[in-house]
Amino acid sequence: AYYTLCPVNDTQDFLGVAADAESGAIINTLGRNIVVITRLSDQKQIRSWTVLEKLSNRVVYDGATGKYVGVFGKRNLKCWKDIETNLKKVKKIKLQKNVSNLVTFGENRETLVVFEDGSCATLSSLLLGENPQDDGILSVGVAIESPRVLIGATGELLLLFFTRDLATGAVELRFSALDETSRTLQGDWGRIKLNRGIQGVKLMAYEVTEGPMLITVWSDRRIFRRKVKFDEDDSPGQFTFMLNAVSVEQPLSMVSVSKDYLAIYGANVGQEGASLVLYNFYFNVIQAKQFFKVYFNNSRLSVVDGNILLAVAQILAVVPYRIPQSYLADMVGSQKSPKRDKYIACDYVREDDELEKAIERDLKKISSQKQNNCEEDKKVEKPPRYAASEEIMDEKLSALRRRNVIVDVLQLEHQEKVEVKIFTNPNAAKFTGDEFEYLAMELEASGASEFDISSRIISLALSGNAPMEAQNCLRRYTCIPEGKLVSCLVYAMKNELWDFLSTILSVDFSHEELVEELRNQLGEEMIYPLMKRLLKFLENSPLEEHPTPRGELWDGDERILGWFSAIVDAHYQHLVLRSTEKTKKCLKMWDNIVRKYYRTIQEAKDLTATIYSISQNRAPARTQIESKWYSIDVVQLF
């Protein structure tokens, strides 16, 4: 949830926010003449200043001097204590260059003054009257964006900032090392050009996170990341994720939240409004999502003390967030191994569109005839792990069976060795298509989560009309996104694939998220056929058993009732206002079934009490309700 902190008259004059000396408070430079200190916990104003001179940058707090720092007219510097009431009386320090931004860094919250030509100087040196370094590397017509000071890969301090050519719009990342004591620039500048060299593909958002790591988002929905190093490589790095949570057709705002997280604000895909998403680029998943009714393209994001601040339209919104110390099991992935990244088949992991074409070609080959060992040299081979002896192999298999793990032993053609695949679902098996099996293997080896793997494979399977592969995915993994689960449901209902539907209904889900996806994807014309089909499954066709992520006892009837409950919650208004006679008749049948289950549960409660009394050698308490499960009669013997 989010709340509005204060109104913003003009986002162009809004200079930004910074962390205050007091934890949980922010310095809000609302305009070029207003500075407000606000406590976020109760949204109360602690202090404020109004100045006649116009500020040119946001005000920051310098930990070394214990003073607030502001730049007026780009060349005048002022520092003042929190008890100061009249900033007109504060001494002004005139600088020789125009200031681009003030950057605070480190535990002591030192302040580095970055000038428009790319040079810099510490605040302490400027207060002592020292002149800044010689001219910087930037020429006129180049603007600095988002300067930061981060720790490099080898432990040195780096000054990093983006530059934008005001004439061409070209964006580059510039970075240089800082001296540990004087904080002056040392050595040469590194440069990375943000350009993929593909016609029609535009840069939509960019940010540098701790590491340091460069993250870029492009107009083809691809997210790239690369380490910031002093080399001549201008490539955007490694493709890691397809951004589907927000639209890339409208301007995006992006800010680093922590070492592994980014906050991205953008327009919703295919509908009105906007979304603020929390993206974990380490595991490539969308962690959280906050919806907004209206989208505005002039947005700005900041992060202060566990709060994302969004300046949009004429408001400053605060979105609190919390990143847990330990990740959930379905996010971490069961096979995280950074050392195996070099084995990843990039063509299979990266290019979703090429995969879809490959799937269609593969399906055509299967329908016509099975080609024998075609293009074996193009397959990605990875060194398997072999058992040294039969005794060791038997010992490992016995250990797996004791853990109730399904072991599938496959004899490879023309080879003496066997391949062992381990599944937790007794119905699971390898994918029938090579493209799907290779993609799954590489994603598992790279440490991707089951949530991400299943999402990508199901999307490819449904778009390539390969429902069997989607069904194998549902059987192979336990953590399935509710959105993909409903997509499979709609596909199975339209094509009357009842075996596929049985597998879909067996998968574990979150009720709240399933209701939302059913409301968005399940059409009204499909409600009645689905409820009728659920009745048939409940009466005649038991679902296949499916393991749950939490290891709970699996109950097929409970799963079907859960689906029915989600359908009713998602389409309650339609069922009340626009139900046909056949739909009402179906609902009455469901009402009878639910009442029957309720009575059975009540009888089970009485049975539990009776069993406990018997175990304690006590006479069972008489109940007023006659049980259908058992009866106790007194028999007179003659």
- Find residue 70's DSSP bridge partners: 78
CB atoms within 10 A of CB 298: 13
Whether residue 393 contacts residue 419, with contact meaning beta carbons closer than 8 Å, is answered with no
Residue 367 pLDDT exceeds 70? no
Check residue 366 and give its pLDDT: 45
Q: pLDDT band at residue 193, thresholds of 50, 70 and 90? A: very high
Residue 205 pLDDT exceeds 80? yes
CB atoms within 10 A of CB 619: 8
Q: In whole numbers, what is the pLDDT of the chain averaged over residues?
A: 79
Q: Cα–Cα distance between 501 and 547 in angstroms, integer?
A: 17
Residue 590 pLDDT exceeds 70? yes
Query: Could you identify the residue written with the tokens 């399904």?
Result: 406
Whether residue 27 contacts residue 20, with contact meaning beta carbons closer than 8 Å, is answered with yes
Residue 279 pLDDT exceeds 80? yes
Residue 273 pLDDT exceeds 60? yes
* SS3 category, 172: strand
Domains of the chain: 51-191 (2.130.10.10), 194-321 (2.130.10.10)
Distances (CA, A) of 129 to 58, 60, 92: 23, 20, 12
Question: Which residues, 6 or more positions from 516, have their beta carbon under 8 angstroms from its beta carbon?
Answer: 482, 570
What are the b/e assignments for 343-358, b being 16+ CB within 10 Å? ebbeebbbebeebbeb
Backbone angles phi, psi at 16, to 5 degrees: 125, 180
Q: pLDDT band at residue 314, thresholds of 50, 70 and 90? A: confident
Residue 67 pLDDT exceeds 70? yes
* SS3 category, 541: coil
- Find residue 176's DSSP bridge partners: 159
Beta strand ranges found along 257-359 (DSSP E)? 261-267, 274-280, 285-292, 300-304, 307-312, 315-320
Q: Cα–Cα distance between 470 and 317 in angstroms, integer?
A: 41
Check residue 123 and give its pLDDT: 92
Check residue 112 and give its pLDDT: 94
Percent of the chain scored above 70 by pLDDT? 77
Query: Could you identify the residue written with the tokens 């409970």?
Result: 558
Check residue 395 and give its pLDDT: 61
Check residue 449 and give its pLDDT: 75
Q: At what angle do helices 527-539 and 581-615 cross, to 10 degrees?
A: 30
Instruction: Tell me which of 326 and 132 has the higher pLDDT.
Output: 132
Taking the mean position of all CA atoms in its chain, how far away is CA 72?
40
pLDDT tens for residues 516-569? 899 889 888 888 899 888 888 887 766 666 555 444 545 677 888 888 889 988
* SS3 category, 71: strand
Q: Cα–Cα distance between 433 and 437 in angstroms, integer?
A: 6
Check residue 634 and give its pLDDT: 72
Q: Cα–Cα distance between 522 and 488 in angstroms, integer?
A: 11
Residue from 70, 81, 116 nearest 96 by CA = 116
Residue 147 pLDDT exceeds 90? yes
Residue 88 pLDDT exceeds 60? yes
Distances (CA, A) of 402 to 162, 399, 423: 56, 5, 14
Q: pLDDT band at residue 352, thresholds of 50, 70 and 90? A: very low
CB atoms within 10 A of CB 514: 22
Element at 4 (helix H, strand E): strand 3-7
Q: Cα–Cα distance between 613 and 621 in angstroms, integer?
A: 8
Q: What does 108-142 look like in DSSP terms, one character per residue?
A: TTEEEEEETTS-EEEHHHHHTTPPP-S--S--TTE
CB atoms within 10 A of CB 502: 19
Q: pLDDT band at residue 330, thresholds of 50, 70 and 90? A: very low
Residue length of the chain: 638
Q: Cα–Cα distance between 234 and 220 in angstroms, integer?
A: 19
pLDDT tens for residues 484-519? 999 999 999 999 998 899 889 888 888 888 988 998
Check residue 632 and give its pLDDT: 67
Helix boundaries (H) for 71-210: 123-127
Q: Cα–Cα distance between 544 and 541 in angstroms, integer?
A: 9
pLDDT tens for residues 453-469? 888 899 888 988 889 99
Of 210-214, 507-511, 604-608, 625-629, the least confident: 625-629
Distances (CA, A) of 410 to 388, 421, 433, 462, 476: 18, 8, 16, 27, 16
Instruction: Using DSSP bridges, classify how beta strands 285-292 and 300-304 pair: parallel, antiparallel or unpaired.
Output: unpaired
Whether residue 2 contacts residue 263, with contact meaning beta carbons closer than 8 Å, is answered with no
Q: Cα–Cα distance between 393 and 423 in angstroms, integer?
A: 17
Q: Cα–Cα distance between 478 and 158 in angstroms, integer?
A: 43
Q: Cα–Cα distance between 227 and 190 in angstroms, integer?
A: 12
Q: Cα–Cα distance between 450 and 332 in angstroms, integer?
A: 9
Residue 30 pLDDT exceeds 70? yes
Check residue 382 and give its pLDDT: 39
Q: pLDDT band at residue 621, thresholds of 50, 70 and 90? A: low
Backbone angles phi, psi at 524, to 5 degrees: -65, -30
Query: Could you identify the residue written with the tokens 């340091």?
Result: 212
Whether residue 345 contacts residue 306, with contact meaning beta carbons closer than 8 Å, is answered with no
Q: pLDDT band at residue 438, thresholds of 50, 70 and 90? A: confident
Check residue 610 and give its pLDDT: 77
Q: Cα–Cα distance between 149 and 160 in angstroms, integer?
A: 6
Residue 342 pLDDT exceeds 80? no
Peptide bond just before 212 cis, omega within 30 deg = yes
Q: Rg of the chain's alpha carbons, rounded to an integer?
A: 31
Residue 369 pLDDT exceeds 70? no
- Residues 107-122, mean pLDDT to the nearest whole number: 92
